[in-house]
Structure 1
């Protein structure tokens, strides 16, 4: 693994000494892999070459990496040309956007974060790496670790939600899962935390928009998941499209060099997002293509993706002295060391074995994992009169455009999924149908438009049923890159269907399919039960059936706050306190909207299971926490129901007075417990000064003495706090 402190790799230094400037620059180029089957619809066309041109560039030593092609046999041919026909025999590294599954598709990352089980993310990333490397891929542009506090932004589907603590846990787990224990292993997939940085804070939730952000917010909210990913072993970082306070992230020297390399000591490679260097001109930050190249490279961006700018302009910039040869060598050295770290110099044909690609023996285990991951991602928001789980002998009407649908199962950024193995909702519901029950399926409407006679057929089915399963939500293309929304609601045709079905009086269970938090309205909001089923991947139908029929008690919790209304965005639970908070003592002059309170419809951390869980009071082991001491926070949690369930116990903290206004609550820990009927468990969390630290008014990082509230609770708004005081260092010393 590259490390700034380790001795230089003699193979790398030997290559550097023999390389021409053009060959050095070639190592910094990332281009579309047109030799293998490619996914051209996921990026705009720019600088596109045919297969012959790509191979000729590889042969000339002008390509460091190719991306989004797949296939071991053709990948082996690309590598053969690189190592046997190029002058220096430097292998290429083959990359792809493999986000939440390869052939087997797992829940979108936002949905998986709802599990509150980082270990689950580790296992799905590991399975993804096994399948991706078998298909001839060394490097993935994942995980996305952006914190998304505005649900209008479509790429929140790719991350872990609105909370930094949860985001850090999942970022680290996914990196470890992708990469495995040994980067040189045939099934190790190099990870790339993205998008560095602040992408989730784009103004108005509009994709690619500008970011105006306070230094403290950047440091406390958006940077920590990247640090967690790098500490977990990631050796590549991808830059963001947005600017930050006027400086584009892809040419931001203070962040790419000052913070990432000098402060954090990052030894790895910084790669641009797709044509991000080219876009410096459109930003108005660079005068022309050459200037954009100079600014991006000088800021610390090692590899340029698809624009071709580095190949076109870096040699002349080096010749003119505007880019020192030492700087070029440093970037090339990082790329070559990355290739050495993943074993390509020792075995250029690593992960390019057609026999391994054809081996499907792993698929049953991966399908079982996909089913378990999917059901662990489903959040039960509401369950009036215990309508769920369904009982045997019921007449069930499954209504809605997602019941039979196979095209909106996988979610955004799934390029290589095996659609022949996808399980639709109808297939899963029929396969698991309880004895004596019947199932009638009616579409009712399309994803965005009415169907002739659709509502009439749906109403008839609902009237003849004991319960309706109403499968509504967002089409898959509504979330992901370039899919910002102004109103985060379900399409009008589906809402009209919901209103008509609800008017029959038959109990309705909403099966919500979505890639973000939604503002639920009318009959959807008021349904007897609501399950958030996200985009769950290959095993969607079986996983939903497991939960609906009671084979699995839902255990997931919301990683994002569901608002009352779209106009509340950006909305997140851990907002700073205000001088006029919404309290019963204050009249209209308080922090709220005319139409809605300053609350969520369903808050971060909320979720139900099939049993009632009781929380005892939160208690602390002492009223004070010494500066270098540890404090225990405990509460008793009891299953008061008749079924075994899993409960996500959450630890929240509030700093009552700070040099910067502090959030009303912050997640500081969580634990998932399995509780048998009637079982009580005492849950204990340890707190130290490190968990109380934040970016202070003087931009230093640390804790401040004073009073704190602490909760052990089932959500970000539940429970009553205990209180303790952090003593200053001198008091701790006297004690």
Structure 2
């Protein structure tokens, strides 16, 4: 970041933020390096260590801020930032303690998990990724930054870019799916959206890429569990989105909980220093995840002093909640287990981030009460959220063009997720006002107005087990469990179903059935809802399944029996409106899956860019062959592949062509394909390009996404789509972890999803 000359009013106190004193004449604030160096020269070792301490707001949110234990630590210079404190008024009061009562008046940084929107909430990240629209994704982050910064927040713990290929893991909902190429594009878009071009602008916030690294690949899909993989897999499949965020200029990074090569990431010097800083050139600071340092004790790495020193030496700058730095680093410094140079480097990085945010110019820059009143949950923000949400929905099945529906007759909306506005925002929606979210029933009623009659029944509870439902509806996301019997609930549902022309079944997961610490061993719709669905199908009325989920689910039975399935994910605060827009054809669905849907749990982990075995299954019918790589009781193929998604219209691909059959290392090839809308509706299509390296020094995946374009075609319109392939699209990390492209044959696939077989070959010649 270039240095700027900024005019600032300094009082006679060290940094002069007191609003109780008259400001003397304006002076120039010095360039960042000089400014931070002079400030650090004034700091005691205790004040330096204090900058590395990130507690949660704790009791500061429950009473007078100045009377809390956290406030006392702030006054004594023992806190560098706070998180999970909301509202301009509270943040302003806490910041005043830091800049008026502490010795050096160093402002705090305020963080929050602004994951997929602030009060205006967008689809969960997995759903957002299914738009395949980088402009929309970046815009969602811009709006989130605008709203969060208007409410005092200047740092978000987002984007989460962990690749995940195991839907048992609950936090698959918080990432962008299974593919490193797409995940990298989304990582860049999110960082750009949050941070903009200038962090000193009042409507941008510091971004934090997480969880570094490999957090999305825990054994057995169980949260916080062991991760173990080869380095070649790390570099080719799991590292790219983190690196993309670094290349985009992300200001901070968060360490993951899991081990990497047997060492917890929080204490892994190879990961935090050798890879992140030396290889990738990361310039920001690294924060632990919540209590990440003391958790290394349970990993068997030593006592609190030992693991705190391990973390600092590895390259961690900020300790979230653990207070290991605060309570042990002085002792470790005396015992020469850490060095003052390491502490100073960490302090400098944190102070530089505060400088870049403009907090030394004006520590109250994010505390404008007028912004808080006028820039949060605005009509325009909600309109954009509604549009983005509609683009995220994935049409999985639509027999006989059942969808879109007519706004006429009688419509039954049945299911435990039908009138569940508290769940529409999904997991990790900490700033959402759930009371203002739009349920499916509400959205449908507003969409049809007086032109159709809408009937509602709950039909069943989320699950037969009340204890399970309680675990799945935490953080106020209740489903208002109905104490009537299964028979009573079913009878009511069938009564309105039989009065209706169409049945919309709102089924699936509740918001907190996915997310952190929400791993599942059964990834089907709960049995209570499956039973309800079968009863609804028996009526003979057409049934549309609106599926709510934070992960890929096993839907074989539903796919075989239900004529239409619309995957709504958790679409955010405007979910009901957005889903209705798609159901009634105001928006033609264009979402495409970014995570494979398995046929059965036994296929997990499952993903499209797999390696072939030496005995691949050759037949395309999924028939069992002895001594081939297959199951005796199931097909190899997934139910819905990566990149899959239907439309109300149809697209025809033809005339796949390549500019040359040979390519030199400095050449670029042009791939073209004609796409025609041959259906009855205008629509959008995500045209996907995959490459296969047919012969290499190491085994290469059967396909790898290397390009995509989302295009709009009117009914009957035809368009030629072009892709450019350079040497960069052919590179990979070899067994020596060198990023190389090797000469030889390549196959290029272009189509509507990862299962496409439309291909053309070329040769790379060096």
Question: 2:10 maps to which residue?
Answer: none
Corresponding position of 1:468: 503
- Aligned pair 1:20/2:44, yes or no? yes
Secondary structure of residue in 1 paired with 2:353: helix
Indicate the SS of the match to 2:82: strand
- Asked if 1:685 corresponds to 2:723, the answer is yes
Matched, 1:65 2:89: no
Q: Check the 8 A contact 1:495/1:524 in 2, yes or no.
A: no
CA contact (8 A) 1:35 1:69 kept: no
Of 503-512 and 522-531, more deviation after overlay is shown by 522-531
Q: Tell me if 1:522 matches 2:557.
A: yes
* Other-structure match for 2:55: 31
- Quote the Cα distance in structure 1 between the aligned partners of 2:450 and 2:105: 64
1:112 aligns with 2:136: no
Q: Distance in 2 between matches of 1:137 and 1:51?
A: 22
Give secondary structure in 1 for the equivalent of 2:382. helix
Structure 2 SS opposite 1:32: coil
2:238 corresponds to 1:222: yes
What is the CA distance between 1:279 and its match in structure 2? Answer: 0.8
Aligned residues: 716
Shift of 1:408: 1.2
SS of the residue corresponding to residue 607 of structure 1 reads: coil
Report Cα offsets for 1:189-247 as digits up to 9, x if no partner: 11000000000111111110111111111011111111111121211000000001211
1:138 equivalent in alignment to 2:154: yes
Report the equivalent of 1:495. 530
577 and 524 in structure 1: CA distance in 2 versus 1, 3 angstrom threshold: closer
Q: Choose 584-593 or 183-192, whichever is displaced more.
A: 584-593
Is 1:454 paired with 2:489? yes
Deviation at 1:50, TM superposition (A): 9.6
Is the deviation greater in 415-424 or in 106-115? 415-424
Q: Which structure 2 segments of 5+ residues have no match?
A: 4-29, 465-484
CA distance in 1, matches of 2:365, 2:619: 65
Provide closer, same or farther for how the CA distance between residues 491 and 51 of structure 1 changes in structure 2, counting only shifts above 3 A.
farther
Runs of 4+ in 1 over 4 A off after TM superposition: none
Residue in 1 that maps onto 2:279: 263
Whether the aligned pair in 2 keeps the contact of 1:401 and 1:447 (CA below 8 Å) is yes
2:753 counterpart SS class: coil
- How far did 1:402 drift? 0.9
Structure 1: segments with no counterpart, 5+ residues: 40-48, 729-735
In 1, the alpha carbon distance for the partners of 2:376 and 2:169 equals 39
1:370 equivalent in structure 2: 385
With 318-327 and 526-535 compared, the bigger mean Cα shift is at 318-327
Matches within 5 A, 1:575-614: 575-584=610-619, 587-614=625-652
Residue 572 of structure 1 is matched in structure 2 by 607
Of residues 551, 555, 574, the one that matches 2:586 is 551
Asked whether the 8 Å contact 1:35–1:50 carries over to 2, the reply is no
C-alpha contact (below 8 Å) 1:711/1:721 kept by paired residues = yes
Q: Partner of 2:445 in structure 1? A: 430
Conserved 8 A contact 1:383-1:530: yes
How many angstroms apart in 1 are the aligned matches of 2:60 and 2:152?
A: 10
* Matched residue, 1:563: 598
Residues 522 and 38 of structure 1: is their aligned pair in 2 closer, same or farther, counting only changes over 3 Å?
farther
Find the partner of 1:90 among 103, 106, 110.
106
User: Cα 1:706–1:468, aligned 2, differ >3 Å: closer, same or farther?
Assistant: same
CA deviation after TM superposition for structure 1 residue 513, in Å: 0.1
In the alignment, the residues of structure 2 paired with residue 670 and residue 432 of structure 1 have an alpha-carbon distance, to the nearest angstrom, of 33
Aligned position for 2:350: 335
Is 1:231 aligned to 2:250, yes or no? Answer: no
Query: Within the alignment, does 1:9 sit opposite 2:33 as a pair?
Result: yes
1:116-146 Cα deviation digits (max 9, x unpaired): 0011111111111111111111101111010
* Distance in 1 between residues matched to 2:274 and 2:688, nearest whole Å: 35
1:531 equivalent in alignment to 2:566: yes
SS across alignment from 2:456: strand
In structure 1, how many angstroms separate the alpha carbons of the residues matched to 2:762 and 2:547? 41
- Which one of 83, 90, 96 corresponds to residue 80 of structure 1? 96
**For each residue in 1:655-684, what CA deviation from the matched residue of structure 2 results, as whole angstroms up to 9, or x when unmatched?**
111112111111111101110111111111
TM-score (normalizing by structure 1):
0.95
Give per-residue Cα distances to partners, 1:137-174, cap 9 Å, x unaligned.
Answer: 11011110101111111111111101111101111111
CA-to-aligned-CA distance 1:499-543 (integer Å, 9 cap, x gap): 111122222111000001100142455310110100011111110
CA contact (8 A) 1:652 1:665 kept: yes
